[in-house]
Amino acid sequence: MTRPARRYRVALLGNGIRASLSPALHMEEARHLGLDYEYRTVDLIDRTAVDLGAELGRLEDAGYAATNVTHPYKQTVLDHVTDLSPTVRRLGSANLVLFGAGRRTAHNTDCPGFRGALATFLAAGGAAGTVLPTGTVLRTGTVLQVGAGGAGLATVAALLDLGFRTVVVHDAVPAAVATLLDRFAPVTSPRLLPSGGTLDTWLPRVDGVVHVTPVGMAEHPGVAFEVDRLDPAAWVAEVVYRPLETELLRRARARGLATLDGGGMAVGQAVESLRLITGLEPDTARMHAHFRRLVAGPDTLAGPDPLEA
């Protein structure tokens, strides 16, 4: 007798998320895992006032197992949960809430998702989305992070975890850098440094750059910094994934620099979310392949801010 598939109902809470790739990405992998898995978006874009606690309560009452949480609720959701994972306590930001036994447990899968993709890239250049010129050796001494917004909390934590000697953070808004450093500096100083607003001074001196701003999205064309100022042996990692080849990556690849596109973080956080929700092990390579089919399909340039997905 065939055992019925385990059933999961999962949501995504956010603002302006109707074109999110998360439902398709989760449900296709869940199908391979033999699960009855329904993933729905709850787009609050038309709400003049949002009671996030009430929204979570409605999902709980409807029998949902979990909800991903995206822009602009990754920090405010912490006011409406009962438990924080160690990563959430460290970052002060969550993108997943698990329901069960009257508890709401907040997790952050952005950080391990990005950390895993970057670690694979740095180790062998074998991560999906990698362009690695023949004979390239990726250096890991000093890294520059451009962007100190919400996603920057997750990426800077990953960089610290990966053991870079120095992590320099730059943002057009100096207060954003100060806020980020205040969260991490007590336990990482002097490894974590502000750029001092001198981006052009740092670019020739770093081994790699992680780009974590909206610049390069279809709605925000352009580049956040000039790749021509980078050392020829430097590498560039991107978190924007719509389009998958941003202008920044195009210019970096034209210079022959090693690059990692934004699909690494996008898929990585989805893999971690599925693992936490189901207790099963997703096939990362299979999810990367499905993700690339999705971004190559219709409406590739539409959708929510990938920095907040």
The residues assigned a catalytic role are: 74
Q: Give the span between the Cα atoms of 23 and 1, in whole angstroms.
A: 30
Residue type at position 56? L
CB atoms within 10 A of CB 138: 17
- Supply the DSSP string of 193-239, one letter for each residue: EE-TT-HHHHGGG-SEEEE-SSTTSTTS-S-SS-GGGS-TT-EEEE-
Cα-flanking dihedrals φ and ψ of residue 79, to 5°?
A: -75, -5
Q: What is the DSSP letter of 84?
A: E
Q: What angle do CA 293, 14, 88 make, to 5 degrees?
A: 95
CB atoms within 10 A of CB 4: 7
Question: Is 144 in contact with 203 (CB distance < 8 Å)?
Answer: yes
Tokens of 97: 């809430």
Question: Is 291 in contact with 267 (CB distance < 8 Å)?
Answer: yes
